[in-house]
Structure 1
Amino acid sequence: MSQPLRVIFAGTPDFSVAPLQALLDSEHQVIAVYTQPDRPAGRGRKLTASPVKQLALQHNIPVYQPLTLKDPDAQAEVAALNADVMIVVAYGLILPQAVLEMPKYGCLNIHASLLPRWRGAAPIQRAIQAGDEKTGVTIMQMDVGLDTGDMLYKTETAIQPEDSAQSLHDRLMTMGAEALIATLNDLQELQDEAQKQDESQVTYAEKLSKAEAQIDWSQEADSLQRLIQAFNPWPVAFCDFEGKPLRIWQARLPQADELNNEAFDKTAPAGTVQLVNKAGIWIQTGNGILCLQTLQAAGKKAMPAYDFAQSRQLQGQKLQ
């Protein structure tokens, strides 16, 4: 773009902070920030501003926190800002058609997947859980559908076996910020060359639930390992140990040479502790061995699995 853009930024959680900071560091002008209303947080349930609001206030940017953008007064506020473009990153409110059309260049969204794969609420976690080899960020021209708009810019990254949802979130957050600035700097040309999404390739990233974080040891080891990594840091995979939940923060699959250990009884029931050593706690699954590396007992802090095992006779026990 030959001229800096007047930008409205709409976002709420940590994932939105890096793109907002990138805008503040750029030549573009952030004229207003939209974010969710302050929510109770912490043990005292004190009303707390979102990470995006906190950053906006540090830079003396006007902050708007409507309960809905369907309200005529809220829409009038957006229109009065006379923005060139609105950037939406994990904002949490639906943008009606009227709002989508208000900025000169419309509304853009940073989505943490390679659309049309993983539209919806939990694209980072679902990509890990499904065993995808790669994911990335898509900058999309928003329409009224759920992540259905035309694609302007994509960038990708490999998903590593050790990636948790947190580590992948952090990487994509930085990539999204860089992709946003690249898109804005070439916006008109990218809009002219926008690509439609292939509806035959669509998958949906359903919202996570605590119930699906419960481990079923009869599943295959690789599926369980991906679930554990995908649900870190929330809702955190867990099993039952001595009548209480045991949270599993990290696990890995064995190397080929580790499977030759004579302690492994391949006929043991799923959930049986086959071995305890400094590498972790080795569990028999429905198909294969899984090494638990970081655990958290009820009321305790997370710790290495080997440390957890020191005061307990685990070998041969069956986790539920």
Structure 2
Amino acid sequence: MRILFMGTPEFAVPCLRVLVDEGYDVAGAVTQPDKPKGRGHKMAPPPVKEYALEKSIPVYQPVKLKNNEFLDDLQHINPDLIVVVAYGKILPSYILEYPKYGCINVHASLLPKYRGAGPIQWSIINGEKETGITTMYMEIGLDTGDMILKRALTIGEYETAGELHDRLSVLGAEVLKETVKLIKENAAPREPQLNDAATYAPMLDKAISKIDWNKSAVEIKNLVRGVNPWPVAYSQYQGQTMKVWSVEIGDDCKKSTPGTIVDYIKGKGLAVQAGGGQCILIKELQFTGGKRMTVDHYLLGHSIQIGERLE
């Protein structure tokens, strides 16, 4: 089976790796163009490109796919199957309809829940206890195609989006391996999605990461986890931006205005009044221009005033 792989970030690499390890003819890897990275803004290749070049897989980085702009390359590659994992562009119909076995996608949620670009983050922000991987046949709609396989996993109470991302990346490769085997054997199931049960997980932006201290301790905890490692939850302390990297739910607080720093507990963190009566314990923070560190470490060289309110 001749396969064209389409993917860009680190999440997609284990899926490409499993296709190579299983001995499939991976005839090309399509990925996003190189982008400037770091303080020096040097052009850096996407992780999928790095791995593909390491394995001598031809790499294609089209700027656009519309108007048949990738058709010549597609005809040259002539894939039987296209595998798409976090590629980052909508595929036009001429690509979706080209391969004999169709186009399949590895999606990081239990569809039809959390269609869209941010399923990992939103599953945590919304307090889900479970998520997983769905493989599906692709169509023009956004993550609306018939499902092939689903595999679930439990989300840890304090698991971050970054940690869940890494576990789902591994699971995605395992499910893809089984999916491609079934397709090759003409034994892959097709289960239509229930559109009435669908939810949407849009791409995150920095605006979502501002902490609303009027929300419950559980909601704040889930936000902090869901936007770690990007864009990172934040609040304002005495006019400075304070990133909040990790928290725990504390005991009931004294009745204070939500956002008020009510205590410092060594070894646990800063106790901040949340909505609903409970405290949030800020364990790790970072001020603009400074390093990420524990509250205990930060307070060795700085002070934070009890009674101040985080805005």
- TM class by shorter-chain length? over 0.9
- C-alpha contact 2:179 2:188 (8 A) present in aligned 1: no
Cα 1:80–1:239 shift into 2, 3 Å: same
How big is each residue's C-alpha offset from its partner over 1:79-107, in whole Å with a ceiling of 9 and x where there is no partner? 22121111101111221111111111011
Alignment partner, residue 297 of structure 1: 287
In 2, Cα distance between equivalents of 1:158 and 1:192: 25
User: How far has the Cα of 1:72 moved from its partner?
Assistant: 2.6
Alignment partner, residue 316 of structure 1: 307
Question: Please, what is the CA RMSD of the aligned residues?
Answer: 1.4
Alignment partner, residue 183 of structure 1: 179
In 2, Cα distance between equivalents of 1:190 and 1:71: 32
Q: Secondary structure at the match of 1:205?
A: coil
Q: Secondary structure at the match of 2:26?
A: strand
In 1, Cα distance between equivalents of 2:273 and 2:62: 51
How big is each residue's C-alpha offset from its partner over 1:207-226, in whole Å with a ceiling of 9 and x where there is no partner? 11111211111111110110
- Which moved further from structure 2: 207-216 or 71-80? 71-80
In 1, Cα distance between equivalents of 2:270 and 2:263: 6
Gaps of 5+ in 1: none
Q: Secondary structure at the match of 1:291?
A: strand
In 1, Cα distance between equivalents of 2:183 and 2:159: 32
In 1, Cα distance between equivalents of 2:87 and 2:287: 34
Q: Secondary structure at the match of 2:285?
A: strand
1:126 is aligned to 2:122: yes
Please, what TM-score do these two structures have when normalized by structure 1?
Answer: 0.93
Alignment partner, residue 272 of structure 2: 283
Residue identity matched to 1:105: Y
Tell me the matched-pair count: 308
1:198 is matched with which residue: 194, 199, 215? 194
Residue identity matched to 1:298: T
User: How far has the Cα of 1:14 moved from its partner?
Assistant: 0.9
User: How far has the Cα of 1:189 moved from its partner?
Assistant: 6.1
Aligned ranges 1:21-36 → 2 under 5 Å: 21-36=17-32
In 1, Cα distance between equivalents of 2:108 and 2:224: 20
User: How far has the Cα of 1:69 moved from its partner?
Assistant: 1.8
User: How far has the Cα of 1:76 moved from its partner?
Assistant: 2.2
Aligned ranges 1:93-242 → 2 under 5 Å: 93-187=89-183, 193-242=189-238
Residue identity matched to 1:126: W
Please, what TM-score do these two structures have when normalized by structure 2?
Answer: 0.95
In 2, Cα distance between equivalents of 1:170 and 1:211: 24
Q: Secondary structure at the match of 1:250?
A: strand
- C-alpha contact 1:165 1:232 (8 A) present in aligned 2: yes
2:79 is matched with which residue: 83, 90, 97? 83
Residue identity matched to 1:124: I
Alignment partner, residue 297 of structure 2: 307
- Which moved further from structure 2: 76-85 or 291-300? 76-85
User: How far has the Cα of 1:309 moved from its partner?
Assistant: 3.3
Cα 1:297–1:20 shift into 2, 3 Å: same
Gaps of 5+ in 2: none
Residue identity matched to 2:285: L
Alignment partner, residue 19 of structure 1: 15
In 1, Cα distance between equivalents of 2:280 and 2:69: 56
